[in-house]
Amino acid sequence: GWKEVEYEVVRDAFDNCITVCNMENVDPLGIHTGESIVVAPSQTLSNKEYNMLRTTAIKVIRHFGVVGECNIQYALNPNSEEYYIIEVNARLSRSSALASKATGYPLAYVAAKLALGVPLPDIKNSVTGVTTACFEPSLDYCVVKIPRWDLHKFSRVSTKIGSSMKSVGEVMAIGRKFEEAFQKALRMVDENVNGFDP
């Protein structure tokens, strides 16, 4: 199926704009993002696809005049460069929280400052204490989010994942590579699981 890809973008009242994080759902389009395994940064996009969607995300936030934080979700054809914007959230969301934790970029703090009219270059990154909010995070590691379900409490709920969200939480793991982060996340979801079975 088609890939689902997300970008977190911020923009100030002076039209300074950056992308904070891009994330890719491991599951194909049609599975609710809250039900999907998500990886940051994206692992299967070509450089051309990454920059095409990044440029579009910046155009979208500027077109709508959003001052603050915005999440843009895409459907991307894996066999071509065809894509569709499937959702634009001009607010903080679950994906924003994941992006903030994954990158160390304080999205909620920055969004609050932007709402007060402070320009991005004047906002000090409260995490690093050195850089300003206009620097785009660059990840040399991988982050994996896996949802948690508690279907024992809801016995009449289908165990099949789909377009409605049934997960009750999520775990996030960090690793040097996708495989390491994925194995850590699997162990966090269920302590009886050591990772993928050989």
Model pLDDT for residues 74-131, shown as the tens digit of each residue: 999 999 999 999 999 999 988 999 999 999 999 999 999 999 999 999 999 877 788 8
Share of the chain above pLDDT 90, in %: 72
Span 50-65, mean pLDDT?
A: 98
Quote the tokens at residue 133.
């909010």
pLDDT over 80 at 153, yes or no = no
Per-residue pLDDT band at 176 (split at 50, 70, 90): very high
DSSP 124-164: B-TTTSSSBTTSPP--SSEEEEEEE--TTT-TTS-SS--SS
> pTM of the entire structure?
0.89
Domains and CATH numbers, the chain: 3-118+137-189 (3.30.470.20)
Taking alpha carbons only, the member of 115, 150, 137, 138 closest to residue 11 is 115
**Arithmetic mean of pLDDT over the chain:** 92
